[in-house]
Amino acid sequence: MGFIFCLVLSTFLWQFEALETPSGKELEPLTRELLESARKPEFFEWMIGVRRKIHEYPEVGFEEDKTSELIRTELDSLGITHKWPVAKTGVVATIGSGVKPVFSLRADMDGLPIRELVEWEHKSKVDGKMHACGHDSHVAMVLGAAKLLQAKRDELKGTIKLVFQPGEEGYAGAYHMLQDGALDDIDAIFALHVLPAYPTGVLSSRPGAMTSGAGRFSATIQGKGGHAALPHLNRDPILAASFAIVALQQIVSRETDPFEARVVTVGFVEGGKVGNVIPDSVRFGGTFRSLTNEGLPLLQKRIKEVIEMQAAVHQCTATLDFLEDVALPYPVLSNDEALYEHAKKVGETLVGAGNVQLHPKITGAEDFSFFSLKTKAVMFGLGIRNETLKSNQVLHSPYFFLDESALPIGAAFHAAVAVSYLDSHFVAQ
């Protein structure tokens, strides 16, 4: 019994040692090699070219046909096998031995229904659509990582899956990719998002909750319309909607612990067209957010109760839609603490400890959070702010612009996190 216990213990300790994150000194040759390769003129120009092609022809959620075709063409040229379609337009590529561990890198592909107002040579050629959130650069950086990783494919101690995801902007594309089954075997997943809030090359993230979970709702209050001079003969849905909108604000101000971050916002109201007629109905809606997954159903329940009760008080009826057919609400993006520490150490070796910062919690939402429910996940931000280039405009702005000198850093960071994860989690069979 004692011998068996010691044998088991020694095996456990050996595996525990194998799972330790490499030190900065051990990581330095890897990060230096990858960054130098990504900064070579030919490599850098190729990445810029990929990004600009995607930027010129933005496509919104689940319509990313040209983008998907470009990705598959580049993967074919690199000799990387891939599966398509995944969630309509998505692509999942595989590099390595096919054995465990399996580490994944994710890039979202879709643009936004925004007209680009930046005048430059590669401005969007699709009127009313642009890459205002940097997803074109996300694809370019993961393809850059793919090129770096394919060159090291015989050295990889496991498998790397590249996830090119459609429909991030409000379509829950990550959720739909997970339904396909192509990612059932992943052990961890990593993503980067460009951020104009930080100078070019600065990395940022945090362990635990980073972005809020978010849902949307729309409500229709049905009353009885008629002439405004005879309100007693009508059932005024505008009045009912007004009371409901005011009452919704009290869910956060009077029902939520002040130390918990929650938001309820009404973003639109539709009802009535002339000043002397009470309409039959009013429609309004908005969003609700929480930095805990437990807070989301509580908010949804109270929104429904408040609107229905206020409608009833004014002798009207209410119907609500929480867009659950779109897989809403998005869950909270919770970064795995061990994976965060691993990526942070890689980042510090790549760009210097002073250039890796703690990101604040935010009430914006990110559908990468669906992956964090599935497996260990972490997202980092990559700074792109350069006042000279005017790449300091906020995400989703028609004036959004990108400092492309960040691309080699992103490609090298992706690749270094993946390779070092496989090295530290591989267990010899």
Residue type for 206, please?
A: R
Q: Is 122 annotated as a binding residue?
A: no
Q: Is 133 annotated as a binding residue?
A: yes
> Rounded CA gap, 347 and 423, in Å?
16
Q: Is 169 annotated as a binding residue?
A: yes
Position 25 confidence tier, pLDDT thresholds 50, 70, 90: confident
Q: Is 316 annotated as a binding residue?
A: no
Task: Using DSSP, state whether 64 is helix, strand or coil.
Answer: coil
- % residues pLDDT > 90 (the chain): 92
Average pLDDT over residues 305-314: 98
Residue 244 zone, left/alpha/beta (φ > 0; ψ -120 to 50; rest): alpha
- % residues pLDDT > 70 (the chain): 94
Angle 288-392-348 from CA coordinates, rounded to 5° = 85
Whether this prediction's pTM lies above 0.85 is answered by yes
> Rounded CA gap, 410 and 382, in Å?
7
pLDDT digits (tens, 9 = 90+) for 106-156: 999 999 999 999 999 999 999 999 999 999 999 999 999 999 999 999 999
Q: Token pair of 197, please?
A: 């809030």
> Could you give the domains of the chain?
16-209+333-425 (3.40.630.10), 213-326 (3.30.70.360)
Closest CA to 142 of 99, 211, 190: 190
> Rounded CA gap, 192 and 383, in Å?
10
Q: What are the C-alpha distances in Å from 23 to residues 29, 30, 64, 263? A: 11, 12, 40, 41
